Structure 1
Amino acid sequence: MVNKTIRIGTRDSELALWQAHTVEKKLNDLGYKTEIIAVKSQGDIILDKPLYELGITGIFTKTLDIAMINGQVDIAVHSMKDVPTALPIGIVQAAVLERANTLDILVHKGNLDFLNESGTIATGSLRRQAQWWNKYPNHTVVDLRGNVNTRMQKLQENDWNGAVFAAAGLERINLKPTDFINLDWMIPAPAQGAMVVVAMANDEFSRQAVAELNDIDTEVCTHIERQFLKTLEGGCTAPIGALAVFVEDDILFKGVLFSIDGKQKIEVEKTIPMQEWKKLGYYMAKEILDNGGTQLMATIKESLKK
């Protein structure tokens, strides 16, 4: 049993492969044998429709889930923000790796004058779109899909002023250009900057191996953020941002829900003692729902149906 080779499932984009190789190296360093198996996901194949129109939460993770359930791979590595808050039956979270940069950044073309005038920004994310419009209501936001490399290329080929990316993704594969600004006012996606490894619940060997890679601080913070997301959305896509960080022995949480046009914004911010973390995401989401969030979520669900 000790000689079992752990087969690591991944998407075949450069960033996904970087993540899989990172996990592979960590497992190899602990003495485990591994093999990487790359699988194309529907989210990578269908690039002409906005993600929310595809109607699948977990469009990037579904193909790997099926490969795991069918026994083709033992574990899968994902950007945690792409993973639905409810995992398929039989699949469990085995480890969350230490978190990287949580910021969103604006990659631009060297001239930022447009920030004070009218401009065109590209992003495929409802969360980024809503926050951009909240700050720059007179700007145009266009849809941008594809893996990180494809999106960077599309930015160069089009006459947009800039595009919004997760800093972590660009940093991991050395694609972060010099022309960027940190959007520290933008609340990131829940679990942004974190990588998660999932395994089959009944695969004791792989689960124990992967558990050695878990970073407890990141696990706690991403749990809070994803609990917030799950309580708010109930399986629907919406402009939601959340960030939990340790500040000495406390946890600082910021959460936000926007209308799709960015005009409505409901936010919460709270600092609590570290030991009260388990239900924090739930309580913060409830606060937003009681504060007009229930009506706003209903409106969002309606408008996404159209």
Structure 2
Amino acid sequence: MKKLIRIGTRDSELALWQANTVQKKLQNLGYDTELVPVKSTGDLILDKPLYELGITGIFTKTLDVAMINGTVDIAVHSMKDVPTLLPKGIIQAAVLKRASSEDILVTNGPFEVEKNATIATGSLRRRAQWLHRYPHHSLVDLRGNVNTRLQKLKDNNWQGAIFAKAGLQRIDVLPENHTSLDWMVPAPAQGAMVIVSMKNDDYCKEATSNLNDFDSEVCTQIERDFLRTLEGGCTAPIGALAEIIDDEIRFKGVLFSLDGQTKLEIEKVVQIDNYKDFGAECAQSILNNGGKEMMRLIKLETK
């Protein structure tokens, strides 16, 4: 039986672009759809760093409630914003083909990294990695949607701000004055879009399964398993990237202290057939080699 698929989304320009992309793909397959935009807690509270808000699910909770209440049928998210443990009754229905996972620095003009500088980011992961490389720089918090953050950079006397390249590319606001941070390990699932649905909604599960990209699903699962095993519900500076090259998966994962001074990392290669527990195994290796103590300290510092 054919039914209307109501697509829940945040109401930022980027979130709407993502939801519109999913809508077009479903409509091309013959499904009837409509967009249902909502404003999330993360979009409403912009005067506090994310880690002070309890970052887990801050951008997804409102849509989770809308799905459980039956207001929307599916939701589209930037996958890096989605908690590794989904609410009861909600499942991952599809991961779309991943865009760039790269972080970039957008600058207010040329500056010398050897000298003192002020860099803006709302991410503990980016902050820690930047301080690890440039401990003499100052970091300031930066919140808001992509356009708001770009404007704040222009309005302030900062040397630069760190963004996910994919988000700026998607809504066509990637400035010329940007630099690739190819040394920075991205957030788990950065650059990927995910669709979630209700576990008992066979119609929407079947419809959205047509949009799933297997390689992106595998790589993001490994990265998110790494995150879940390390984090234990805590907010920490964690980066992870899995890439499929031929029949191998190459993985790099990092855990930093909050001040960026201490870095624990793992690089490992596995055959693609053995991906199922790979992310968790890599995280366990980090935990066994100093990660447990570092996570204990991070939990104390972020209380």
Secondary structure (helix, strand or coil) at the match of 1:231 reads helix
Partner amino acid, structure 2, of 1:260: L
Q: Is 1:64 paired with 2:63?
A: yes
| Partner in structure 2 of residue 268 of structure 1 | 266
| Partner in structure 1 of residue 100 of structure 2 | 101
| Partner in structure 2 of residue 73 of structure 1 | 72
Q: Is 1:253 paired with 2:251?
A: yes
Partner amino acid, structure 2, of 1:92: I
Residues 67-89 of structure 1, C-alpha deviation per residue, up to 9 Å, x if partnerless? 00000000000000000000000
Aligned-partner Cα distance in 1 for 2:189–2:54: 21
| Partner in structure 2 of residue 195 of structure 1 | 193
Q: How many residue pairs end up in the alignment?
A: 303
1:1-306 alignment to 2 at 5 Å? 1-2=1-2, 4-113=3-112, 115-305=113-303
Residues 200-230 of structure 1, C-alpha deviation per residue, up to 9 Å, x if partnerless? 0011101100000000000000000000000
Aligned-partner Cα distance in 2 for 1:131–1:102: 16
Residues 147-184 of structure 1, C-alpha deviation per residue, up to 9 Å, x if partnerless? 11110010000000000000000000001000000000
Partner amino acid, structure 1, of 2:188: P
Aligned-partner Cα distance in 2 for 1:22–1:56: 26
Runs of at least 5 residues in structure 2 that lack an aligned partner in the other structure:
none
Shift of 1:56: 4.2
TM-score (norm 1): 0.98
Aligned-partner Cα distance in 1 for 2:147–2:91: 30
Runs of 4+ in 1 over 4 A off after TM superposition: none
Runs of at least 5 residues in structure 1 that lack an aligned partner in the other structure:
none
What is the RMSD computed on CA atoms of the aligned residues?
A: 0.5
Aligned-partner Cα distance in 1 for 2:267–2:84: 22
Aligned-partner Cα distance in 1 for 2:38–2:108: 34
Percent identity of equivalent pairs: 65
Partner amino acid, structure 2, of 1:263: Q
Shift of 1:112: 2.8
Aligned-partner Cα distance in 2 for 1:189–1:52: 15
Q: Report if aligned partners of 2:109, 2:159 keep a CA contact under 8 Å in 1.
A: no
